[in-house]
C-alpha cells in the first residue's frame, strides 16, 4: 500500500491517500492542532467523499464532539481508540447517490 501526499483545498495539515481492498482512503492527522484546526481539516476532507468507495481517516487527540453533530445527517463513522491515547475516526457517506446537506463552511468550534 503506497501512501501519496495530496493537496486538499482549505486544509492546514498534510493529507495522504492510499487504496486498500478497492476503497480509496484520504487520511490526515490533526492531533497536534488547536481548535478550530481539526474541524477545518475534517470539513475540507469530507468534501472528498463523493462515492461509496471513499473514506476519510482522521487521527485526533480526542473525539471531535463539535464536528459530529454538524455532519451526522450525511456521514457515518467508525471510531478506534489508539494505543497512544489518540482516536482514529473513519468517515463515510451514508448515501453516496444523494447530495450532502452538510454546510462545509461551518467549521467553527462552539465548545
CATH code: domain of residue 83: 3.30.110.40
Domain of residue 59, residue span: 4-93
What pLDDT band is residue 110 in, cutting at 50, 70 and 90? low
Answer yes or no: is 60 within a domain.
yes
The residue with greater pLDDT, 111 or 62, is 62
What pTM was computed for the model?
0.95
In sequence order, the 6+-apart residues with CB closer than 8 A to the CB of 49 are 26, 55, 56, 75, 91, 92, 93, 96
Determine, yes or no, domain membership for 51.
yes
For residue 43, tell me if it sits in a domain.
yes
Q: Write out pLDDT tens, residues 5-64.
A: 999 999 999 999 999 999 999 999 999 999 999 999 999 999 999 999 999 999 999 999
Dihedral sign computed on CA atoms, order 110, 39, 48, 86: negative
Overall domain count for the chain? 1
Amino acid at each position: 500500500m503506497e501512501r501519496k501526499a495530496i493537496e486538499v483545498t482549505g486544509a492546514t495539515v498534510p493529507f495522504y491517500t492510499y487504496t486498500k481492498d478497492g476503497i480509496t482512503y484520504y487520511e490526515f492527522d490533526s492531533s497536534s492542532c488547536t481548535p478550530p484546526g481539526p474541524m477545518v481539516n475534517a470539513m475540507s476532507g469530507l468534501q472528498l467523499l463523493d462515492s461509496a468507495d471513499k473514506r476519510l481517516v482522521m487521527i485526533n487527540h480526542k473525539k471531535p464532539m463539535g464536528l459530529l453533530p454538524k455532519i451526522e445527517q450525511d456521514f457515518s463513522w467508525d471510531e478506534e481508540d489508539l494505543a497512544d491515547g489518540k482516536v482514529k475516526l473513519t468517515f463515510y457517506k451514508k448515501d453516496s447517490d444523494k447530495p450532502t446537506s452538510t454546510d462545509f463552511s461551518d467549521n467553527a468550534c462552539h465548545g
